[in-house]
Amino acid sequence: MKIGITTFGCDGGRSGIGRFLLSMLECFENRFDQHEFVIWTTAEEADVWRRDSSRFSLRTASERFGGAFSSVVWHQTHLPRECRLAEVDAVWFPAANRRLGGRNSVPAVGSVLDLASLHLPGKYSWKHDLYLRYVLPRMINRLDEIMTISEYSKRDIIAATGCAAERVTVIPLGVDQLQFHPGDAALARSAVSTALGVDAPYLLYVSRLEHPAKNHVRLIESFERLIAEHAPPHHLILAGPDWNRAEVIHSRIHQSPLRQRIHTTGFLPQSLIPELYRAADLCVIPSLYEGFGMPVIEAMACGVPVALSNRTSLPEVAGGRAAVFEPDDLEAMTDCLALCLLDQPWREQASIGGLGHAATFRWEQTAERLLRLLARACGRPEASPAATEMSQDENASESAKVDQPIHESQGLPLVDGEVGAQPLMAAGSMAGGAR
């Protein structure tokens, strides 16, 4: 096949959607040499998406289409003609929850990673919000095939667009096992100390600084309460670039009596992120909305215990290998964090269970299933009845894999189907830390 790809809405590779696209391009380049690709982008982002292989061609839109609104216009007015001129068999929209063509001239597949904008008032300007709420769902419904990344997001898409369930295929994201894996914690701590100047044990939250969706302020409040009640030596690292209303988060940190123990990193080189996980005592994800939650799997792949919000897709993706809490309940979050640091038997089980769970998420599998979906949209031989049937079976398998029970009564998970044999430790002093 010859496949067209638009990079608009993928944040120049500096977000979850961007990393998803970069991972797919790497797989397409290195593992699927029977296909050709045409990539449409902006001149500003050309170097991010450029590939060395002759099977990839890069085309840039005029600079006047670089803005959010103008790029929406480009997809309606220019992309259909570009697809015809490039003679692509299908077009793939990696950020279909942001940018889509209205009347596509070739079969179209869109990856709708989430519909957070429908659930988080004030996330965007009112004009942007009108587009996302009233225009985008209709455009999603015009796609030949819809890919999403969790059963939660699939249900959300069906409810928002009214499309048939069989048109939405769940293809979970992956994790780069060569980057994200257990390693020497002492070396990781040294790398973090050198890069960020943090020498103390710490809790880690990897996410862009976005208020209120990512729930940083509540996490800061919970961290303050954790220190006051249990006196651990831990710091809190908030790893990610500033995003919408990040100033609210920075202001709350400035007001905190623990501001010397709360660290923001800004955008980090990808090479440092695995080290951040390996050196952490706990990865915390208090987000109010996620279509998937890549840090869940990345932390688990590094052998780090995870505590997360019980909202949206997060418990599904964690597959019963993480502690869960109600993200709006300060006391519940604080108690969960304390137990995760104190209960060493649970920490060991969570680490082992998380490693096994994370190993089932592979980018190669994501890319293969996405190419099948594109082939099916084209009616190509690659989408044979056997391949299509396998895709459906894999969907059922993935759903069963990630929909495992959570031990709600104590806020801790079942690990490999069993509650930890050791009882939870009572809250008390943690001056010795969790190492």
Quote the pLDDT of residue 184.
Answer: 96
Q: What is the DSSP string of 213-270?
A: TT-HHHHHHHHHHHHHHH----EEEEES-B-TTHHHHHHHHHH-TTGGGEEE--S--G
Give me the half-sphere count of Cα atoms (radius 13 Å) on the Cβ side of residue 225: 17
Q: Is the distance from CB of 68 to CB of 128 less than 8 angstroms?
A: yes
Give pLDDT tens digits for 372-420.
999 999 997 554 333 333 344 444 444 444 333 333 334 444 433 333 3
Q: CA angle, 360 as apex, 326 and 170 as ends, to 5°? A: 70
- Report the 10 Å Cβ neighbour count for 103: 10
Calculate the CA 42 to chain-centre distance: 24
Instruction: Give the chain's residues under pLDDT 70.
Output: 121-124, 381-435
Domain ranges, ordered by start, for the chain: 2-170, 185-359
Give pLDDT tens digits for 30-75.
999 999 999 999 999 999 999 999 999 999 998 788 787 788 889 8
Q: Is the distance from CB of 377 to CB of 146 less than 8 angstroms?
A: no
H or E segment to which residue 308 belongs: strand 306-309
Q: CA angle, 379 as apex, 377 and 380 as ends, to 5°? A: 110
Quote the pLDDT of residue 182.
Answer: 98
Burial class of residue 63 in the structure, from the number of CB atoms within 10 Å of its CB (0-12 exposed, 13-18 middle, 19+ buried):
exposed
Pick the CATH number of 2-170 from 3.40.50.2000, 3.40.50.300, 3.30.420.10, 3.50.50.60: 3.40.50.2000
Q: How far separated are the first and last CA of the chain, in Å rounded?
A: 51
Give pLDDT tens digits for 242-274.
998 999 999 999 999 999 999 999 999 999 999
Location of structure tokens 């623990």:
258
pTM to 2 decimal places: 0.86
Pick the CATH number of 185-359 from 3.40.50.300, 3.40.1190.20, 3.40.50.2020, 3.40.50.2000: 3.40.50.2000
Quote the pLDDT of residue 122.
Answer: 66
Is 185-359 the same fold as 2-170?
Answer: yes
